[in-house]
Amino acid sequence: MSNLENKPNNQEMEGLTETGKIKKVRIKGNRNLVVSLLAILFGLIAGAIYMLAIGKNPITGYYFILSGGLKNLERIGNTLATATPLIFTGLSAAFAFRTGLFNIGAPGQMLMGGLCSTALALTLNLPQYLFLPVILLGSMLSGALWAIVPGFLKAKFNVHEVVSGIMLNWTAYWIVYYIIPTYFKAEYLETESAMIPANASLKVGWLSSLFQGSFINLGLFVAIVAVVLIAFILDKTVLGYELKSVGYNRHAAEYAGISVNKNIILSMMIAGALSGLAGAAFYVGYASNMQIGVMPSQGFDGIAVSLLGNNTPYGVLGAAIFFGLLHSGKGFMNAMTKIPPEIADTIIATIIYFSATSIFIERMLDALKRRKRGAK
């Protein structure tokens, strides 16, 4: 048999190439997972050092953090409820990052989604099976429309989305500050809206009873659907390919015939819609009304969730649940050990630092790999 006969044909070559690509994706995915786990480990070590520095036992501290978030079904439900808005805002940040944008305007988009949800809940009177889709759709549209502004300014005038996003956060803050007391205030309180009626709330009796009366709500299921949908859009559709192409190289994408301006605006709208859903999940799901004078921290925390999740939808899901656990457990830790709850926030900040500087962790892994090869 000749050498020509031994050579693989075109189909075999394509198969080999595809196999190589799959292997590269798996290696990269495993590496990203290791980097995230190391960032968490370093954050926990830093937290242990902080606890030791104030004369507290870190093992006891971490035990009560875990107990506070996972001790029983009620606490597990509260952990998942705390994680739900973080899943949405983390997805929002990750989607923007993957398409070359930095959506720091998530708090404002979340406020507008929450304001629309609250307004619809206190204005309409529909059966719950109709009410909830209307509220979710309204929150999505509100967040998307609010995100059009930084998207348009970026596309047409190259105004950085961070600048316009921060400005719009405070614009949304003051809009809520005016509208809630003027049109939707509680009977005896000026600083919060009236209570959301039961048929407009994402909290449902059977789910709360299943988790022993926790704050868990239907927003969690919507968030999981959003994770799957965003993963599908980014990795399996032409739209996702075009959006990522614009993010990676705007000029190359334009040369290839992709409408850059349209995709920038569309990317910001999708990110804004996700943040708007976070507003619905928080203000008519986790909470039962809307307060004024509070910038939702979940909008900023979503950036940290995205970084820890390596800007992937499923990574965001895991990172949001982990952050939800820390947030749920820190109060219990403080009550049982008198360790300040700010320790948990410091742990989160340290994890964010190592996630944001993952290049150093990757270099450390490369150095260990080279040392291992040298030893062999």
Q: Domains of the chain: which residue ranges?
A: 57-369
b (16+ CB within 10 A) / e for 286-315: bbbbbbbeebbebbebbbbbbbbbbbbbeb
The values of phi and psi at residue 242, to 5°, are: -65, -45
The pLDDT of residue 33: 80
- Looking at residue 18, what is its pLDDT? 45
Q: Cα–Cα distance between 225 and 118 in angstroms, integer?
A: 23
Here the tokens at position 335 are 């009550």
Query: What gap in Å lies between CA 324 and CA 84, rounded to an integer?
Result: 8
Q: Is the pTM of this model over 0.85?
A: yes
164-169: which pairs have CB atoms within 8 A and are 24 or more residues apart? 164/105, 165/102, 165/103, 165/104, 165/105, 165/108, 166/104, 166/105, 168/105, 168/108, 169/104, 169/105, 169/107, 169/108, 169/111, 169/295, 169/299
For the beta carbon of residue 71, count every other beta carbon within 10 angstroms: 13
pLDDT of residue 112: 98
CATH topology of domain 57-369: ABC transporter involved in vitamin B12 uptake, BtuC (1.10.3470)
- Which ranges constitute the DSSP H helices of the chain? 3-6, 10-53, 58-70, 73-98, 106-123, 128-157, 161-183, 205-210, 219-236, 238-248, 250-255, 260-281, 297-308, 313-337, 342-356, 358-375
CA 316 vs. chain centroid, Å, equals 6
Q: What contacts 270, CB < 8 A, 6 or more positions away?
A: 95, 144, 233
Would you call 130 helix, strand, or coil by DSSP?
A: helix
Give yes or no for a contact between 39 and 351, defined as CB atoms under 8 angstroms apart.
Answer: yes
Residue 301 · residue 113 · CB < 8 Å: no
Instruction: Select from 277, 318, 337, 374 the least CA-distant residue to 32.
Output: 318
DSSP annotation of 286? I
Q: Within the chain, which residues score under 70 in pLDDT?
A: 1-29, 357-362, 365, 375-376
Amino acid in position 4: L
DSSP, collapsed to helix, strand or coil, labels residue 193 as strand
The answer to whether 315 touches 36, Cβ cutoff 8 Å, is yes
